[in-house]
Amino acid sequence: MNKQINNGFRTGLIFGIINIFLILIGFPMVAGTIIKDAIHNDSTVLLGLNADILDMLIFMGLIGLWAGASGGRRLKGEVDTWLDALASSASSGFTNGLLVGGLAYLLGALNDAGVRISVYLAAILPATIKQLLLGKNTLDGALLEFGFLFVTGLLGGALGFALRGQWRKALGDWWKKIWSGFVNSAWVRKIRSHPLFMPAVYALGLVILYIIPQEAGKYWNYTLGTVGIYVLLGLGLNVVVGFAGLLDLGYVAFFAIGAYTVALLTAPNPHHLMWSFWVALPIGIVLAAAAGILLGIPVLRMRGDYLAIVTLGFGEIIRILATSDLLTPFSGGPKGVSAIGGPTLFGKPFSSDKDFVYLIMIGILLTIFVTTQLRSSRVGRAWEAMREDETVARAMGINTLTHKLMAFAIGAAFAGLGGVLFASRNQFTGPEDHNLMVSINVLSVVIVGGMGSIPGVIAGAFALKGLPEVLREVQDYRVLFFGALLVIMMIWRPEGLWPSSRRSMELGKADDNAKKNSGAPGGKP
Amino acid sequence: MSMLEINDIHTYYGNIHALNGISLKVEKGEIVTLIGANGAGKTTTLRTIAGLLKPRQGQVLLEGEDITKLKAHEVVYKGVAMVPEGRGIFARLTVTENLDLGAYSRTDRQNFAQDLERVFTIFPRLKERQKQVAGTLSGGEQQMLAMGRSLMARPRILLMDEPSMGLAPILVESIFDTIVAINKEGTTILLVEQNALMALSIAARGYVLQTGEIVLLDSAANLKQNEMVRKSYLGIE
Ligand SMILES: Nc1ncnc2c1ncn2[C@@H]1O[C@H](COP(=O)(O)OP(=O)(O)OP(=O)(O)O)[C@@H](O)[C@H]1O
Ligand SMILES: [Mg+2]
């Protein structure tokens, strides 16, 4: 029993801390807005509750249920009876409630005392505090919040317990039966073995990709485009970091080169060249790749940390050069370049947000094709060896310098493509588009998604760029959000959201193998 | 013409003068061993031959051709393979992938399957464990993999850096048997060993290295009888 309570306490602590963090960045209020949007009850008063408070209750309720359920779940073999589950979830809910209720009380008391908390924490407005206190006064509200989390915790524990064991197994078995019955049935097999099956699947995929931008509105197409560009950048950086194992923190430099190329070549100012987008596009890509090689030649002899620092510097240099007095007449300076040209198709403009989603998708498909081909080629094998052990790779006859340069140039080329598309879509680019955060964001996309994994990078881009875009209000806290997400990911899923099969093998199965082969030492001595 | 000849090599690590004018020869088809205490410069010698380190002075000749200035990967293409110190297998790749990388320098990919079979005949254990991640192999298996991988390059000369390190006596013997077998198939071998007794029992000739200088060279049989060698490297009073 002690064990269950202890365990619940720890779970509650984790949930409570995460919850406090979310509250401090204003997340529950944003989540509340989304809940409101989802069920369209802007001002309806339900159950005698004001909508804001209802949203808060829904959000907190979900967290509470989750905390309770995982409080009961963490001890796999140890939660055998209802009593165990309830003890564990009660302790989890209690701790969670105590932390959050305590925070609510603290904020409420400070607010009552006339302290303007929003000066320090922008998300904590008096109205927010009121919402957190569920519309009551400080003490009552805090107690209510505590009680609510405690009760939902208990409920979550009970629910989790009920749904595990036989119920869950029954549900799983039922599903398995249906699924295997479906997969093994004669007609499904016949279809799957048909030579046109895979082409048909691809065709269907393309049709879906075609339809999505048609159906999405302007806002969603804009968001999709942004996420798509990050997918593109992530896939490119994945070649450098994931395949070749080179830590490049100046990736934004190549993105900037692509963006400035299309800007300076197609915009009326500062050069009045007004070239076609389609001419500027390949030039941007080639220039970015060339910059990759140019930067690569001096720095790729360095290893690890040094490489990271030097590339970091290079990333900043492009931006600083662009804003310098010296280059302002050439680059548009701090004000940036506007009225950048967009693509045309058969003489008609093809540059709405929707059109760009298509262009970006084509870019992504191209990138996926190129990177998968590369990975399974001789070059890919050389990268793999190099990433594992550079010296031994050289002793195998691998020219590590040219292979590093190749990775750098290819990654840079995709960044250039991303930059061209980004600047052209926004019809503007300026130094602020190219700060260090871009490099960090893209690197986070790669790491969170799963280094070396192509679907992982896509998932990572949606998680890191898509989510904050959806939760517009937390944008200001994106850095915090990233940080928290990265830490959580590193603890819970060090291999990334969707790891490459290799990485999951290393981190999971490899251990099992080592155990199976009894006493075999893992890794290098 | 000697398979390998190095003349008056001086290699530095920064200011540290690690090799102070080393010369040695390995004839075609020979096993030659290089023995010496820890830090004598054995690994440095092999790394210099392999092109991983550049000597400030001196020459490395492979069948008369000067390869001193070649880069490490170019040296491999000339037919020099290495079993690195501490094995240096790619721990996170599978056995097959490791062997595949061993053949990276080969232009005749059509012989790949045949070479793989050859390695599996020499090391049946590796065949059983083709799909296993190399880092999870036992120490002995990792050594077999490192040797197998070097054979995949079909080298003219094989540089081996302490292949017996960390292995149980029974395994050491079988590793040495394998070295002899590989040599019989026609690969010239330069063997660096701590286990001087074993090394001298399979080698034709030996060199003794002391703080970056060759202090003794003789036939293996004579070296075994040599007072200084017996004291310092064979542990016999
Ligand atoms: N990377 C390095 N940087 C600086 N000094 C080095 C480096 N590698 C080796 N040395 C030094 O060079 C000398 C020769 O080292 P080497 O590795 O060749 O010895 P070794 O004969 O192979 O020894 P062991 O039997 O212990 O492997 C040693 O004094 C060592 O400290
Ligand atoms: Mg050594």
So where are chain A's domains? 2-174, 221-512
CA distances from A370 to A230, A365, A373, A380, A410 (A): 17, 9, 5, 11, 10
Q: Give the position of tokens 């046109």.
A: A196
Q: Which two tokens stand for residue A78?
A: 């140890």
Closest ligand 1 atom to B42 CA: 21
Contacts of A300 (CB under 8 A, 6+ apart): A246, A307, A401, A404, A405, A408
How far is residue A400's CA from residue A394's CA, in Å, rounded to a whole number?
6
The whole-angstrom distance between B71's CA and the closest CA on chain A is: 9
Break chain B down into helix, strand, coil percent, rounded to 5: 40, 25, 35
pLDDT of residue A164: 67
Taking Cα atoms as reference points, which of B149, B226, B162, B227 lies closest to residue B198?
B162
Angle, vertex CA A98, rays to CA A488 and CA A102, nearest 5: 95
pLDDT of residue A397: 94
Say if A394 is an interface residue toward chain B (CB within 8 Å): yes
B42, B54, B233: residue to mutate for ligand 1 pocket, most atoms within 8 A of CB: B42
How far is residue A127's CA from residue A125's CA, in Å, rounded to a whole number?
5
Question: Which residues of B are less than 8 Å from A505 in CB distance?
Answer: 133
The whole-angstrom distance between A498's CA and the closest CA on chain B is: 18
Report the nearest-CA residue for atom 25 of ligand 1.
B38
Cβ-defined contact of B104 to A382 (cutoff 8 Å): yes
The whole-angstrom distance between B88's CA and the closest CA on chain A is: 6
Q: Nearest chain B Cα to A396, which residue?
A: B102
* Residues A320, A452 contacting (CB under 8 angstroms): no
> Is 1.20.1540 the CATH classification of the domain at A221-512?
no
How far is residue B200's CA from residue B174's CA, in Å, rounded to a whole number?
16
pLDDT of residue A525: 33
- Amino acid symbol at A340: I
Number of Cβ within a 10 Å radius of residue A69 = 25
Cβ-defined contact of B133 to A394 (cutoff 8 Å): no
Angle, vertex CA B45, rays to CA B52 and CA B95, nearest 5: 60
What pLDDT tens digit does each residue of chain A (525 aa) get? 677 788 788 888 888 888 888 888 777 777 776 666 666 555 555 556 677 777 788 888 888 888 877 766 555 555 567 787 788 888 888 998 999 999 999 999 998 888 888 777 777 888 888 888 888 888 998 999 999 999 998 888 888 777 766 666 777 788 888 888 887 888 888 888 888 888 888 899 999 888 888 888 888 899 899 999 999 999 999 999 999 989 898 999 999 999 999 999 999 878 888 899 999 999 999 999 999 999 888 888 877 778 888 888 888 888 888 888 888 888 888 888 988 988 888 888 888 899 999 999 999 999 999 999 999 899 999 999 999 999 999 999 999 999 999 999 999 999 999 999 999 999 999 988 898 888 988 998 898 888 888 888 998 898 888 777 666 555 566 666 667 776 776 676 667 777 766 544 444 443 344 333 333 333 333
How far is residue B176's CA from residue B185's CA, in Å, rounded to a whole number?
14
Number of Cβ within a 10 Å radius of residue A509 = 14
Considering only CB atoms, A398 lies closest to which of B104, B135, B166, namely: B104
Taking Cα atoms as reference points, which of A92, A97, A101, A98 lies closest to residue A9?
A92
Q: Which two tokens stand for residue B182?
A: 């590989």
Report the nearest-CA residue for atom 4 of ligand 1.
B13
pLDDT, tens digit (0-9, with 9 covering 90-100), for B39-63? 999 999 999 999 999 999 999 999 9
Say if B70 is an interface residue toward chain A (CB within 8 Å): no
> How close is the Cα of B83 to the center of ligand 2, in Å?
12
pLDDT of residue A77: 56
- Amino acid symbol at B51: G
pLDDT of residue B26: 96
Angle between helix axes A400-426 and A277-299 (nearest 10 degrees) is 140
Interface ipTM: 0.91
Bridge partners of B133?
B94
Q: Give the position of tokens 């999870």.
A: B136
B237 has pLDDT over 50: yes
pLDDT of residue A523: 36
Ligand 1 binding pocket (C-beta < 6 A) is: B 13, 16, 18, 36, 38-44, 85, 194
CA distances from A172 to A157, A163, A164, A397, B102 (A): 20, 11, 10, 51, 46
Say if A376 is an interface residue toward chain B (CB within 8 Å): no
Q: Nearest chain A Cα to B106, which residue?
A: A397
B43, B194, B209, B215: residue to mutate for ligand 1 pocket, most atoms within 8 A of CB: B43
Bridge partners of B35?
B193, B208
Burial class (CB in 10 A: 0-12, 13-18, 19+), A382: buried
Largest CA distance in chain B: 54
The long-range contacts involving A355-360, CB below 8 angstroms and separated by at least 24 positions, are A356/A221, A356/A225, A356/A421, A356/A424, A356/A425, A357/A212, A357/A213, A357/A216, A357/A221, A357/A224, A357/A225, A357/A228, A358/A210, A358/A213, A359/A421, A360/A225, A360/A228, A360/A229, A360/A231, A360/A232, A360/A421
- Amino acid symbol at B217: L
Chain B interface test: which of A390, A392, A504, A507 (most B C-beta within 10 Å)? A392
Chain B interface test: which of A379, A387, A396, A400 (most B C-beta within 10 Å)? A396
B10, B12, B16: residue to mutate for ligand 1 pocket, most atoms within 8 A of CB: B16
pLDDT, tens digit (0-9, with 9 covering 90-100), for B96-127? 999 999 999 988 878 889 999 999 999 999 99
Q: Which residue has the higher pLDDT, B222 or A22?
A: B222
* Residues A101, A149 contacting (CB under 8 angstroms): yes
Residue B6, phi then psi, degrees to nearest 5: -120, 140
Cis peptide before A494 (omega within 30 of 0): no
> How close is the Cα of B38 to the center of ligand 2, in Å?
7
User: A522: which DSSP letter?
Assistant: P
Buried b / exposed e over B213-223, threshold 16 CB at 10 Å, is ebebbbebeeb
* Residues B133, B93 contacting (CB under 8 angstroms): yes
End-to-end CA distance of chain A: give it in Å, rounded.
Answer: 42
Say if A521 is an interface residue toward chain B (CB within 8 Å): yes
Q: Give the position of tokens 């260090």.
A: A436
Number of Cβ within a 10 Å radius of residue B95 = 30
How far is residue B154's CA from residue B148's CA, in Å, rounded to a whole number?
10
Sign for the CA dihedral angle at A467, A473, A475, A477 comes to: negative
Say if A392 is an interface residue toward chain B (CB within 8 Å): yes
Number of Cβ within a 10 Å radius of residue A46 = 11
How far is residue A19's CA from residue A33's CA, in Å, rounded to a whole number?
17
pLDDT, tens digit (0-9, with 9 covering 90-100), for B199-219? 999 999 999 999 999 999 999
pLDDT, tens digit (0-9, with 9 covering 90-100), for B83-93? 999 888 999 89
Q: Nearest chain A Cα to B49, which residue?
A: A395
pLDDT of residue B84: 93
**How many helices (DSSP H) and strands (DSSP E) are in chain A?**
24, 4
Banded model confidence at residue B71, pLDDT cuts 50, 70, 90: very high
Contacts of A278 (CB under 8 A, 6+ apart): A343, A344
- Amino acid symbol at B193: E
Contacts of A219 (CB under 8 A, 6+ apart): none
Say if B97 is an interface residue toward chain A (CB within 8 Å): yes
